[in-house]
């Protein structure tokens, strides 16, 4: 599937009222595996649902190809050692679906990057709105990093040795049950 995506850093604290408008709120860890260099495993808690997703991406910057497939979450124990040795990011994700363009706000908890806004589509015929238009926020607070290789999640990923105290006790619009379930899953690996 084609993925056309623009990515922006947001320069200040985000009003909770913006995140409240999201349709879904997830807590996610993404591991970047080698080989192949383009493989990613994402484990997440979306409400009460657990998901495990394998993605293969090719390309960089604005336009990429991606293949995704859901895995049985029980498979996590089979690949735990490989995941533990891989670099990862942890984030809360807030998804805003609108017609042919999806908006995503990620709050990076590890590394502590802050808010990253994405607008994406799979159609080359759809205009991607600027994030300040999409969310009605001040334009000057955004810095586009779409083509900057230093801001790919793979580039930002770190090796996690231990999960103690790596994310806050509360995350905007992520329930305590989601956090507890997420920690329980991570303890199967770390």
pLDDT of 164 strictly over 90: no
In this predicted model, what pLDDT tens digit does every residue of 63-111 receive, in sequence order? 899 999 999 999 999 999 999 999 999 999 999 988 899 999 999 999 9
Tell me the fold of 2-187.
Answer: Hypothetical Protein Pfu-838710-001 (2.40.320)
Query: Residue 31's pLDDT is what?
Result: 97
- For the segment 171-190, the average pLDDT, to the nearest whole number, is 93
Cα separation, 165 vs 154, whole angstroms: 22
Band the pLDDT of 175: cuts 50, 70, 90.
very high
User: Domain segments of the chain: what residues?
Assistant: 2-187
Of the ranges 24-28, 130-134, 168-172, 182-186, which one carries the lowest mean pLDDT score? 168-172
**151-165 mean pLDDT:** 91
Residue 93's pLDDT is: 97
Q: Would you state the pLDDT for residue 99?
A: 82
E runs forming strands in the chain: 2-10, 24-33, 39-46, 49-60, 63-71, 87-98, 101-110, 114-121, 142-144, 158-159
User: What is the mean predicted confidence (pLDDT) over 152-165?
Assistant: 91
Q: Average pLDDT for residues 125-153, to the nearest whole number?
A: 95
pLDDT, tens digit, for every residue of 12-66? 889 889 999 999 999 999 999 987 678 999 999 998 899 999 999 888 888 899 9
Among candidate residues 189, 3, 9, 1, the one with its CA nearest the CA of residue 113: 9
State the Rg of the chain over Cα: 16
What confidence score (pLDDT) does residue 125 get? 93
Q: Is 39 helix (H, G, I), strand (E, B) or coil?
A: strand
pLDDT band at 151 (very low <50, low <70, confident <90, very high): very high
């Amino acid at each position: 599937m084609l993925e056309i995506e623009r990515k922006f850093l947001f320069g200040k604290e985000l009003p909770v009222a913006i995140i409240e408008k999201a349709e879904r709120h997830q807590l996610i860890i993404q591991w970047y595996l080698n080989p192949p260099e383009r493989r990613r495993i994402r484990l997440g808690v979306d409400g009460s649902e657990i998901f495990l997703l394998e993605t293969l991406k090719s390309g960089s910057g604005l336009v990429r190809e991606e293949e995704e497939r859901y895995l049985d979450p029980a498979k996590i124990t089979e690949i735990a050692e490989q995941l533990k040795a891989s670099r990862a990011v942890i984030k809360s994700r807030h998804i805003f679906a609108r017609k042919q363009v999806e908006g995503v706000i990620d709050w990076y908890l590890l590394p502590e990057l802050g808010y990253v806004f994405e607008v994406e589509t799979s159609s080359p015929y759809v205009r991607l709105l600027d994030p300040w238009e999409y969310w009605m926020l001040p334009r000057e607070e955004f810095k586009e990093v779409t083509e900057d290789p230093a801001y790919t999640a793979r580039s930002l990923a770190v090796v996690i040795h231990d999960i103690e105290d790596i994310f806050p006790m509360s995350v905007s619009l992520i329930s305590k049950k989601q956090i507890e379930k997420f920690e329980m899953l991570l303890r199967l690996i770390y």
